[in-house]
């Protein structure tokens, strides 16, 4: 079965390559990612992953893989850090506390059936000093990212504990993704 990746994220493509999955096409889905009033983080991530897949397919004989990574503190969905000021606020909020990184993965089958898995990873940051936040902002690494950080880069040094999937925090939980692809008959190398 052929595979379309509904994401232009180079990280997701690299993660897929780790399990031997090479998409036949990469397409950017165009959806509204605004949380619904009162929407909780887990249902939000699930809704977006499926919406991204459905924005591309279903496609005859081809499965569509999409994912959404949401950072949450309690019931609060954190936005992506689109400016350094927002990023500073997010890192200050995450400093010294636990948060959830929820990544939902949707595999949309050619018949329109959605197979969905969700991975909830609990990440605890060390207490960040102002100089550490300033240095992180200066490197520009977390801009545009959910929660304002990229665990695969310098922010990994902020992580005191992680319970769950490291690759899920990056943007695609490999265990769950592999299981979805294998059961659907998508060839893996």
Where residue 67 sits, what CATH number does that domain have?
A: 3.90.950.10
Question: pTM for this one?
Answer: 0.94
pLDDT class of 167 with cuts at 50, 70, 90: very high
In a domain, 98, yes or no: yes
Burial 46-65 (b: 16+ CB within 10 A, else e): bbbbbbbbbbbbbeeebbbb
Task: Give residue 5's pLDDT.
Answer: 97
Q: In percent, how much of the chain has pLDDT > 70?
A: 100
pLDDT tens, position by position, 29-80: 999 999 999 999 999 999 999 999 999 988 889 999 999 999 999 999 999 9
Q: What is the DSSP string of 83-101?
A: SHHHHHHHHHHHTTSEEEE
120 is catalytic: no
Task: Give residue 187's pLDDT.
Answer: 84
The number of folded domains in the chain is 1
User: One of 14, 30, 32, 68 is an active-site residue; which one?
Assistant: 68
pLDDT tens, position by position, 73-129: 999 999 999 999 999 999 999 999 999 999 999 999 999 999 999 999 999 999 999
Domain housing 78? 2-184
Question: What count of other Cβ atoms lies within 10 Å of the Cβ of residue 9?
Answer: 16
User: What does the alpha-carbon distance between residue 138 and residue 87 come to, in Å, rounded to a whole number?
Assistant: 11
In a domain, 189, yes or no: no
């Amino acid at each position: 079965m052929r595979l379309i990746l509904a994401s232009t994220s180079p990280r997701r493509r690299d993660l897929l390559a780790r399990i031997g999955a090479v998409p036949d096409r990469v397409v950017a889905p165009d959806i509204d990612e605004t949380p619904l009033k009162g929407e909780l983080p887990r249902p939000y991530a699930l809704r977006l992953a499926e919406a991204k897949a459905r924005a591309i397919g279903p496609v005859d004989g081809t499965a569509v893989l999409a994912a959404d990574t949401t950072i949450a503190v309690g019931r609060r969905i954190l936005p992506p850090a689109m400016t350094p000021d927002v990023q500073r606020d997010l890192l200050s909020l995450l400093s010294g506390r636990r948060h959830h990184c929820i990544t939902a993965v949707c595999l949309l089958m050619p018949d329109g059936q959605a197979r969905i898995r969700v991975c909830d990873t609990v990440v605890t940051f060390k207490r960040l000093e102002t100089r550490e936040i300033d240095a992180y902002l200066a490197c520009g690494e977390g801009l545009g990212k959910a929660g304002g950080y990229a665990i695969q880069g310098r922010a990994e040094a902020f992580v005191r504990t992680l319970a769950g999937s490291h690759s899920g925090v990056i943007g695609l939980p490999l265990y769950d993704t592999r299981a979805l692809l294998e059961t659907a008959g998508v060839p893996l190398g």
